Homo-oligomer: A and B are copies of this chain.
Amino acid sequence: MPVYTVSNVQNLRICVVMVGLPARGKSFISQKIVRYLSWLSIKSKSFNVGNYRRQTGPPQPNAEFFDAKNKEAYKIRQQAVTKAVEDMMNWFVAEQGVVAILDATNSTRERRDWILRLCRENGIEPMFLESWCDDQELVLRNITDVKQTSPDYVGVDPEVAKRDFLERIAKYEEVYEPLDDNIDRDLTFVRLINVAQQVIINKIETYLESRVVFYVMNLHIKPRCIWLSRHGESVYNIEKKIGGDSSLSPRGLQYAKKLPDLVRQSAGDADLTVWTSTLIRTQETAQFLPYKQLQWKALDELDAGVCDGMTYEEIEEKYPEDFKARDEDKYEYRYRGGESYRDVVIRLEPIIMELERQENILIITHQAVLRCIYAYFMNVPQEESPWMSIPLHTLIRLEPRAYGTKVTRIKADIPAVSTYKEKGTSRVGEALTEATKSRHVLTNPSND
């Protein structure tokens, strides 16, 4: 039985129109929003005009290309944005899209008026999101990121790239018209000033828009790490039972004792806060860590309802149809009287919001919950996330960067049972593939 939230039944379609000079973090914000909404099962996609421009224009144009007076280049750039908007409109219809992001500078009022008109003609709510920045240090840091990662500067000498990029920004500055409290007072818009130091929000009308705004307000770009660990091996793990509230096994306790060393190796002297669930096995795992600790009910394991405390064999025998249904759609399947993965994601949303605001955090939680948190940071699709292998006695370090999340896995080298159940069997054993290998999830598509 599907559970709806207000956001996906109102037949609402939103186009987030990014606005801002190059190197203002527009693509970073766009991709974070897509990742957040996709994780919440809200169909969303970013349309980067730079990618369209590279398909028809020169692969590595210099700054002159971005001069508004360069008629030929202007035509190519106009074609790119037209094609991006066309694809976006088709996507809304063909894929029942809910939130599209038009990731481009959209720096003139003329361009924005054109998008506004198209949105209105197609029954789409436009929300303008401007990233405005006059903090030169921030801009320069961003420029360094861009020239290292943009396809426009692959293989180009860093100094040449930087100089050219600064020139390109200057070309945009010549024609740039920021959103204006007065002229644009009838539009739905958000202005982020110097990475949310000041935020101006105008005429937000839907709940979904307000969620996006709140999310963006909570993002920061300070360097930090997030560590994830399952609890140590528990008595129930050994007995192959799911759920419950058992204590650690002797090997689980060994892991708890080793954890402070593992964390110190990875974090050095950095300060961090430990978050656990309210269940005994996570608190026992955290007991030797010399950091501030918080317990969250929202980090408790997926509730298996009537199956709590059973083995997979017992579930297969007693509820064969449920067992089969869960294998067929593990993300949506809700245990009788319990939860689905989708339910867990909804209750984890405040945890994610809080994580975005915080700096160093170590989370000690449970297999299903950890899969959901990991899926958010690594953009793992819903159909894959419930099948990811996240073994016991392993510390995972996530390092969010501007255009990716770096993953490091630190094995404690303490044996533990495998709790991984393969699809189609009730057998618990090692996973065949590890879906959680290091990968970078955000890319820098650069400007239009």
Contact = CB atoms under 8 A, between A and B. Distances in A.
Nearest to A4: B294
A200 interface: yes
Interface stretch (A226-234, A295-303, A362-370): A295-303
Given A201-B201, A343-B297, A337 B210 contact: no
Interface string A92-128: 0000000000000000000000000000000000000
Interface residues of A, number: 47
B3 A296 contact: yes
A372 to B, nearest CB: 15
Given A294-B6, A303-B303, A354-B6, A203 B210 contact: no
15 contacts: A1-B278, A2-B295, A4-B295, A6-B354, A9-B292, A185-B198, A199-B199, A199-B200, A199-B204, A200-B200, A204-B217, A214-B214, A245-B337, A278-B334, A297-B339
Nearest to A278: B3
A38 interface: no
A6 B197 CA distance: 22
Sort A-B residue pairs by CB-CB distance and give the 9 closest, nearest first.
A199-B201, A198-B202, A214-B214, A200-B200, A3-B295, A297-B343, A4-B294, A207-B357, A3-B297
Interface in A169-228: 181, 185, 196-204, 207, 210, 213-214, 217-218
Nearest to A283: B1
A136 interface: no
B203 A198 contact: yes
A427 interface: no
Interface in A213-269: 213-214, 217-218, 244-245
A213 B198 CA distance: 13
A181 B198 contact: yes
A167 interface: no
A217 B201 contact: yes
Interface in A292-334: 292, 294-298, 303, 308, 334
A206 to B, nearest CB: 9
A1 B337 contact: no
A346 interface: yes
Contacts of A308: 337
A203 B373 CA distance: 28
Contact of A294 (B5, B198, B350): B5
Interface in A412-428: none
A213 to B, nearest CB: 8
Given A213-B217, A245-B336, A350-B350, 20 more contacts: A3-B278, A3-B297, A6-B294, A6-B354, A9-B292, A9-B294, A181-B198, A185-B198, A198-B200, A198-B202, A199-B199, A200-B200, A200-B201, A214-B217, A244-B337, A278-B334, A297-B339, A297-B343, A298-B347, A349-B350
With a 10 A CB-CB cut-off, give which of A181, A198, A303, A308 has the most chain B CB atoms: A198
Contacts of A339: 297
Nearest to A204: B217
A350 B357 CA distance: 18
A203 B197 contact: yes
A268 B155 CA distance: 70
